[in-house]
């Protein structure tokens, strides 16, 4: 009897652990974005790239949404607001705020404030989703944030005066961090009543009208230099960017988020900067420093223990359920 109980618990907890690592994998794919974006930026602006990317994603997502259209009948006001936060806030507005903060403020201060994103997600998850953090989660948060700090700044202290953190650029960086953290929480909320394919499709489709407005307001000319060869290279890179760090990454992310707490998922997203460092090393031959290696080690250590805590969350409940069935 005891063997059956243990087996039941193992089966129930396996999807939780695999869900966490799907979030890790999905976020890691975001890090390959520069491979394609660098070529595209030679001919297009950032907003033009994002708009064209979402046009491709619309073509891929529309048939999926049509197949799951019955779910749209049950969408209520709260879910509609959550969808706008995910599609407009997390995709478009947060990116614009962060880009403007980088261009107008102190670079190091903006990057450091953006690292507060997990804290926003954890706080919002506690308020909106009523998530409770397990024991020893606090130290793991500290370890993970310390790892991202080392990846970005190394052993140095990246600011010299508190005035670096005072200004509109800092508010924009905090706004971007809050929107990205809120997008994680709202995504988890939506997955309580929608399939992950539907949430992924709506994220891309709903962002498209806003991106049209943003791109038209920018007023930048559409021009591609270099003839057919350049146009073909842009088309191939645009397609790969839309399908790999775009569609595939978000499908993996939301499938994993379906069985992962938002507070756990926001730390799983730290695989993103690690991939960026690896791409810079392998493709662009940038030297990986000792602090970055230490940051890698800290983040992976934190992810390993967070994954274990995620799977442990339901073990007592499963054991109690199995015991109840056995005695019944």
Rounded CA separation 230/224 (Å): 8
The confidence score (pLDDT) of residue 163 equals: 56
Q: Are residues 144 and 267 in contact, defined by beta-carbon separation less than 8 angstroms?
A: yes
Between the CA of residue 266 and those of 100, 151, 188, what are the distances in Å? 23, 17, 11
Element (H, E) at 63: helix 46-67
Q: How many CB atoms lie within 10 A of CB 327?
A: 6
HSE-up of residue 91 (Cα within 13 Å, Cβ side): 28
Reported pTM: 0.83
- The residue ranges of the chain whose pLDDT is under 50 are 1-12, 314-328
- Under DSSP, the state recorded for 103 is H
Q: What is the pLDDT of residue 5?
A: 39
Structural domains counted in the chain: 1
Host domain of residue 82? 2-327
**Whole-number pLDDT of residue 316:** 39
| Predicted pLDDT at 277 | 86
160 vs 163, 164, 182, CA distance in Å?
Answer: 9, 8, 30
Q: 131 with 263: CB under 8 angstroms?
A: yes
CB burial class (10 A; 0-12, 13-18, 19+) of residue 232? Answer: exposed
């Amino acid at each position: 009897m005891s063997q059956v109980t243990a087996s039941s618990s193992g089966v129930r907890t396996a999807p939780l652990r695999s869900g966490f690592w799907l979030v890790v994998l999905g976020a890691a794919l975001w890090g390959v974005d520069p491979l394609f974006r660098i070529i595209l930026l030679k001919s297009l602006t950032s907003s033009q790239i994002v708009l064209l990317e979402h046009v491709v994603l619309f073509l891929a997502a529309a048939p999926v949404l049509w197949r799951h259209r019955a779910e749209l009948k049950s969408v209520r006001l709260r879910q509609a607001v959550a969808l706008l936060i995910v599609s407009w806030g997390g995709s478009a507005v947060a990116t614009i705020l962060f880009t403007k903060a980088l261009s107008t403020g102190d670079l190091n201060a903006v990057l450091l404030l953006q690292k507060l994103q997990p804290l926003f997600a954890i706080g919002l998850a506690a308020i909106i989703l009523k998530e409770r953090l397990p024991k020893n989660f606090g130290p793991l948060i500290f370890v993970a944030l310390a790892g991202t700090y080392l990846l970005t700044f190394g052993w140095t202290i990246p600011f010299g005066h508190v005035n670096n953190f005072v200004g509109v650029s800092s508010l924009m960086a905090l706004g971007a961090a809050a929107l990205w953290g809120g997008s994680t929480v709202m995504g988890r909320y939506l997955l309580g009543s929608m399939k992950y394919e539907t949430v992924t499709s709506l994220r891309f489709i709903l962002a498209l009208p806003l991106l049209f407005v943003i791109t038209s307001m920018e007023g930048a000319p559409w021009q591609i230099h270099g003839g057919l060869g350049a146009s073909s290279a842009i088309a191939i890179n645009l397609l790969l960017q839309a399908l790999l760090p775009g569609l595939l990454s978000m499908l993996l992310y939301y499938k994993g988020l379906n069985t992962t707490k938002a507070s756990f998922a926001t730390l799983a997203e730290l695989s993103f900067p690690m991939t960026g460092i690896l791409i810079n090393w392998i493709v662009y031959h940038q030297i990986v420093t000792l602090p970055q290696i230490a940051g890698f080690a800290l983040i992976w250590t934190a992810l390993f223990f967070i994954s274990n805590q995620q799977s442990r969350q339901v073990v007592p409940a499963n054991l109690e359920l199995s015991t109840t069935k056995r005695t019944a």
